Amino acid sequence: MNYIIPVSRIKYEFNLKNSTKFSGILPFLQFLERMKIQQTFRGFDCLKKDNAKFPLSKIFVYLIAGWMADCSRMFHFQSLQNDPLIRAFLGGKCPHYTLLSKDLLRLEKIEDAAIEFKERVMDIIEPWLDSDLILDFDSSVETVYGNQEGAKIGVNPHKPGRKSYHPLLVFEGKSHLCLNGVLRPGNVHSADNGIEFAEETYRLLSAQYLIRYARFDKGFGGEKFYSYWEQRKINYAGKLKWTSRLKKYVENDNSPWIRYVDDELIVIEGKTVYYQATSWEKPRRVAVIRKADKYEEDQLQLFDFLWDYEAIVTT
C-alpha cells in the first residue's frame, strides 16, 4: 500500500497526551498493512477514474478500519475522518463520510458483485486454512433501530417487535475464520436458502480443500439439508429438537446408557439410536446425551426429570 507514513513506522508511547478514542486501533491497522489488503480489492478501482483521489480499494480499507472502530453507520465516519492515525494510514487524508455511500452504489454496475467480494476475501483467508476443513453453520439476529434497508420484524428474542437482520454465517471449525456470510431480513427462518448457501461456500473454496465435517444448530435441520451432505459423502453433526416423540422413542430403546463423566458435580451419559422423524425419508443415527447434577445413584434412576437431554443427528 502506498502510504506517506507506513503504519509500521509510526512511533507510539503509552500516555494520554494527544490521544484519541481511536488510538487503540493501531495494531489492527498494522495487521491490515501486513496483509496488503488494499491490493486484494484493486480490481474494483476501474469503477472510478484513474486519477481518483480515493480509489475504491482504499475506500474499502477505510470502511474495514471504521467498522473495527465501531463506526456502524456511515455518519459515524464523520468523527473518524479527522483522526491523525487514520489519516496517516490512508496517506494523509480521509474521504468525506458522504462519499462512502456513493462509492458503494458503484458496485451495482458489477454483475454478482457480492460473489466477487467473497472470492477476493477467500483469497486472503485460504492461506491460513488447513487442508481438511470443518464447516460450522450459524445464524444470528442483529437488531436495528430505525428503518434500515432490508430489515424486517421477525423472531427476536432480545428485542421482540423490533426490526432486525438474520444473517447466515459459516465458520471454519479449527481456525474459526468466517468463510462466507449473507445478510437476510429478520423475518426468515434459519434454514431458508441453507442449501444454496452451503453450495456457494463449497464453490468459493479451492479444490485442494477437503470438507471433513459440517456442523449446525437445530435451526438447519430437515430432510433436504441432511441429504445434501449425504449425497456429497460429507460427515455432519446437527442438533435436534428434543420432542416428545423422540423422548418416547429413546425411553423405549433397550440399549444401555454409557457413562462418560462421573465426578463430584455432574454425571453425563450417552447412547446411540436409529430414529426417523416424521419429515425424514429414512432412519438416521442420533446420538442422545443426558446430564444431571450429582445426586445419589438411586435418585437419578428414579426421577427422570433430573436429567437434561440433548440429541444430535449425525452420520
Q: Give the three-state DSSP class for 131.
A: coil
Separation between Cα atoms, residue 103 and residue 48, nearest integer Å: 9
Task: Tell me what pLDDT residue 1 has.
Answer: 43
- Give, to the nearest 10 degrees, the angle between helix 223-231 and helix 194-204: 20
The runs of H, that is alpha helices, within 126-243 are 194-204, 223-231
The pLDDT of residue 3 is: 46
Sign of the four-CA dihedral 189, 273, 198, 181? positive
Gap between the Cα atoms of 153 and 147, Å rounded: 11
Give the three-state DSSP class for 138: strand
Q: How far apart are alpha carbons 235 and 212 in whole angstroms? A: 6
The pLDDT value recorded for residue 307 is 86
Please tell me the predicted confidence (pLDDT) of residue 251.
92
pLDDT < 70 stretches in the chain: 1-19, 295-305
Across the beta sheet with 152-153, what order do the strands follow?
Answer: 142-143, 163-165, 152-153
Which pLDDT value is given to residue 226?
Answer: 96
Amino acid at 118: K
Query: Alpha-carbon distance 168 to 172, whole Å?
Result: 14
End-to-end CA distance of the chain: 47
CA separation for the pair 134, 284 (Å, rounded): 21
Query: What one-letter code names the amino acid at 59?
Result: I
- For residues 71 and 77, the answer to whether their CB atoms sit within 8 Å is yes
Rounded CA gap, 285 and 178, in Å? 29
CA dist 250 and 244 (Å) reads 10
**Backbone torsions φ then ψ of 101, nearest 5 degrees:** -65, -40
pTM of the predicted model as reported, rounded to 2 decimal places = 0.82
Asked if 150 and 183 count as a contact pair (C-beta separation under 8 A), the reply is yes
Contact 159, 174 (CB under 8 A): no
pLDDT at 297: 58
pLDDT tens-digit series, residues 242-273: 999 999 999 999 999 999 998 888 889 999 99
Displacement of CA 70 from its chain's centroid (Å):
18
Give the three-state DSSP class for 294: coil
> CA 184 to CA 151: how far, in whole Å?
8
| C-alpha span between 225 and 220 (Å, rounded) | 7
- Strand ranges for 141-254 from DSSP E: 142-143, 152-153, 163-165, 168-172, 178-182, 210-216, 235-240
Confidence at residue 252, expressed as pLDDT on a 0 to 100 scale:
94
